[in-house]
Amino acid sequence: MPITPTDKIWMNGELVDWDKAQVHVLTHGLHYGSGVFEGIRAYETAEGPAIFRLTEHIERLFNSAKILGMEIPYTVQELIDATKEVVAVNGLPSCYIRPLAYLGYGEMGLNTLPCKVDVSIACWPWGAYLGDDAVTKGVRMKISSWTRHDHNTMPPAAKTTGNYVNSSLAKVEALKAGYDEAIMLAPNGLIAECSGENIFVARKGQLITPPLSAGALEGITQNTVMTIAKDLGFEAVVDNIARSDLYIAEEAFVCGTAAEVSSVNSVDDRSIPCPGPMTKAIAETYMNTVTGKDDRYKHWNELAV
């Protein structure tokens, strides 16, 4: 999806022009994938642009950095404030936000200990990742031939830039085969997650999402969905899922900051009822939540002013 340039990007404590937000070709993160990032959305609300679960996203950025042994030279609050500033200065009613911490220019080689950490925060208008009709029409999924990382190979709990080569291989494979998205298996053959989303499957009236031990990212949208589902009276649990569970699912959906809540209409050409009643109810409540229309969850929205 093309990026629409905005006015300013926050880089190492300063707002710089979009086309001047540059790094050196010998930046460490460019060569070795040594960075961590977040995907966050701000939504238009009656009170102005509100950033959804901003604090939790920035806290997860710091957790990812800790797993990599990176020390971000700012506090959580400083990056929260910087995110609000960059959204406000660009004057966008809604947008996608990309905080990034990476090892910068000045050192090269596999020893990261001497490397400095640079931080940037950009935002731009971005539509629905899997399509505007992803809730009603659903997306076609394919089990990828690419396996999600083992915990002792690359830490899947960290939202690390280098990890996403794995995701990109799976995504492109699915697209070239005529599908919309890929589902990735854990090394033990059970379902982990999609290339960039968590997945939920309905079996016998119960919603199930894979555990972190399977290699799934600890999703903030996933947590949001679990909360909404339970408040709607649905049973939602974390448990193992086999690929056969997908083939005979009563309904299924994927979720993430970019994808929001998107129905699944088939897996490996096995049709799934779409959209299912739980998916429709959760998707509707989710959109009301992020746009500030559901008072139960307004504490998740942080105004960018």
CATH value at residue 83:
3.30.470.10
Instruction: Look up residue 206 and give its amino acid.
Output: Q
**Residues annotated as catalytic (active site), given as ranges:** 159
Residue 41 lies in a domain: yes
CATH number, residue 241 = 3.20.10.10
- pLDDT single digits (tens) 72-90: 999 999 999 999 999 999 9
pLDDT given for residue 297 in this prediction: 97
pLDDT given for residue 244 in this prediction: 96
- pLDDT single digits (tens) 228-285: 999 999 999 999 999 999 999 999 999 999 899 999 999 999 999 999 999 999 999 9
Q: Taking 80 as the threshold, does the pLDDT of residue 3 lie above it? A: yes
Residue 130 lies in a domain: no
Residue 304 lies in a domain: no
Residue 1 lies in a domain: no
pLDDT given for residue 1 in this prediction: 67
Residue 90 belongs to what domain range? 8-124
pLDDT given for residue 286 in this prediction: 97
Distances (CA, A) of 156 to 45, 80, 128, 178, 209: 33, 24, 25, 27, 16
The mean pLDDT value of the chain amounts to 95
145 and 103 share a domain?
no
Q: Report pTM.
A: 0.95
Residue 303 lies in a domain: no
pLDDT range class, residue 127, cuts 50, 70, 90: confident
175 and 59 share a domain?
no
pLDDT range class, residue 144, cuts 50, 70, 90: very high
Q: Taking 80 as the threshold, does the pLDDT of residue 173 lie above it? A: yes
Report the number of distinct structural domains present in the chain.
Answer: 2
112 and 15 share a domain?
yes
Residue 250 lies in a domain: yes
- pLDDT single digits (tens) 33-47: 999 999 999 999 999
Q: Taking 70 as the threshold, does the pLDDT of residue 128 lie above it? A: no
- pLDDT single digits (tens) 90-116: 999 999 999 999 999 999 999 999 999
Average pLDDT rounded to a whole number, residues 6-21 = 97
15 and 117 share a domain?
yes
Average pLDDT rounded to a whole number, residues 170-192 = 97
- Token pair of 123, please? 């935002």
Q: Taking 90 as the threshold, does the pLDDT of residue 129 lie above it? A: no
